[in-house]
Amino acid sequence: MRRIRCREEVCIGCRLCEVWCQVEHSKSKEIINAFLRETAFPRVRVEERGPISISLQCRHCEEPNCVHACISGALYRDLETCVVKHDASKCVGCWSCVLACPYDAIIRDDAHNRVLKCDLCEGREEPICVEKCPNDALIVEAYDAL
């Protein structure tokens, strides 16, 4: 099982993870279009307090509270890949998962009344945020089942 971890001691709060996540999850996958002509959003969030910053994304929990709380069935855990997935077409924007997630990893997309979350960049060898992190603060870590 895999998930992304942020080493906060080396995170510099540059927010490039947000930028590249937005590009990767845009239709064009092209930076200018993603920011100017599309309504794409990042699925990772950088929180900052003074000198400290941390990049937060889905932990792909083995017992995901967000999946338990989801009233529409949009959130589910893929038992083969162990990735917690979100079918945006089923999401109604009830925000139950915002309440359920202990990791601040659910992003609200008010414009479309739905949430967004990290999908570990399906189809990519390495998630884009990890690849583009200039200080190697973001790493992919493997973790064992409970």
Partner 1 sequence: MHCKYLIIGNSVGGVAASEAIREIDKVGKIVMVSEEPHRVYSRALIPYFIAGRIDLEKMYYRDANFYEKNDILPFLGKKVIKIDFKDRKAEMEDGCKIGYKKLLLATGAAPFIPQMKGLDKERPKDGFFTFSSLDDAMKIKKKIESGIAERAAVLGGGLTGLMAAEALAENGIEVTVVELAGSLLPGVLDETASHLVEEHLEEKSLKISTGRRIVEVVGEESVETAVLDDGTILPCDLLIIGAGVRPRVELARDTGVRVNRGIVVDRRMRTSVNDVYACGDCAEDYDFLQGDFRLLPIWPTAYAGGRVAGFNMCGVEREYRWGTNMNSMHFFGLRIIVAGSITENGDDEVFKKICGDGNYRRIALKDDRVVGMILMNEIEGAGVLLNLMRAGINVKSFKEELLSNDFGLISLPEKLRQEIMT
The residue within the footprint of partner 1, chosen from 36, 80, 102, 134 (CB under 8 A), is 102
The two three-digit tokens of residue 81, written as one number: 């890949």
Sign (positive/negative) of CA torsion 40, 44, 49, 51? negative
Stretch that binds partner 1, among 17-25, 26-34, 71-79, 127-135 (CB under 8 A): 71-79
* Piece of the chain touching partner 1 by CB under 8 A; list 26-34, 43-51, 116-124, 130-138: 43-51
Side chain identity at residue 127, one-letter code: P
Residue type, 11: C
The one among 15, 33, 54, 140 contacting partner 1 by CB under 8 A:
54
Min dist. Cβ of residue 113 to partner 1 (A): 8
Handedness of CA 127, 21, 107, 27 (dihedral sign): negative
122 is an interface residue for partner 1 by CB under 8 A: no
Beta bridge partners of 53: 48
- Which is it for strands 114-116 and 52-56: parallel, antiparallel or unpaired? unpaired
Per CB under 8 A, residues contacting partner 1 are 5, 8, 47-49, 52-54, 56, 59, 65, 67-69, 71-73, 79, 89-90, 92-96, 98-104, 106, 108, 113
